[in-house]
Amino acid sequence: MKVTEHLERATEPLISFEIIPPLRGGDIKSLMALIDDLVLHHPPFIDITSHAAEVIYEETPEGIQKRIKRKRPGTLGVCALIQNKYNIDAVPHVLCHGFNRQETEDFLIELRYLGIDNVLAIRGDDPGFKKPLAPGKSVNNYALDLIAQIAAMNRGEYLEALLDAQPSDFCIGTSGYPEKHFEAPNLLFDIRRAKEKIEAGASYIVTQMFFNNEHFFNYVDACRAEGIEVPIIPGLKVLTSKRQLHSIPRTFHCEIPPALSEEVERAKNAAEVREIGVEWARQQAQELLDRGVPSLHFYVMQSSRAINQLLKRLKR
Q: What is the CA radius of gyration of the chain?
A: 20
More confident residue, 60 or 315: 315
Pick from 114, 172, 124: nearest CA to 148: 172
Burial of 259 (0-12, 13-18, 19+ CB in 10 A): exposed
Q: Is residue 64's pLDDT more than 60? A: no
More confident residue, 22 or 270: 270
Domain ranges of the chain: 3-313
Q: Is residue 58's pLDDT more than 70? A: no
Q: Is residue 128's pLDDT more than 70? A: no
- What is the chain's mean pLDDT, rounded? 91
Q: Is residue 245's pLDDT more than 60? A: yes
More confident residue, 301 or 64: 301
**pLDDT band of 116, cuts 50, 70, 90:** very high
Distances (CA, A) of 14 to 33, 37, 255, 289, 312: 22, 17, 25, 10, 15
Alpha-carbon gap, residue 59 to 62, rounded angstroms: 8
Give the pLDDT confidence score for residue 28 in this predicted structure.
Answer: 85
Whole-model pTM above 0.75? yes
Dmax (CA) of the chain: 65
- The whole-number average pLDDT for the span 214-235 is 98
Alpha-carbon gap, residue 58 to 125, rounded angstroms: 21
Alpha-carbon gap, residue 143 to 166, rounded angstroms: 24
Residue 228 CB partners (closer than 8 Å, separation 6+) = 191, 194, 195, 198, 205
Give the pLDDT confidence score for residue 6 in this predicted structure.
Answer: 98
Q: Is residue 167's pLDDT more than 70? A: yes
Distances (CA, A) of 296 to 16, 81, 85, 236: 6, 23, 24, 7
Give the pLDDT confidence score for residue 67 in this predicted structure.
Answer: 54
Strands 118-122 vs 171-176: parallel, antiparallel or unpaired? parallel
Q: What is the CATH number of domain 3-313?
A: 3.20.20.220
Alpha-carbon gap, residue 299 to 17, rounded angstroms: 6
Give the pLDDT confidence score for residue 55 in this predicted structure.
Answer: 46
**pLDDT band of 137, cuts 50, 70, 90:** confident
With beta carbons less than 8 A apart as the criterion, state whether 212 and 257 touch.
yes
Residue 172 CB partners (closer than 8 Å, separation 6+) = 118, 119, 120, 121, 147, 150, 151, 201, 202, 203
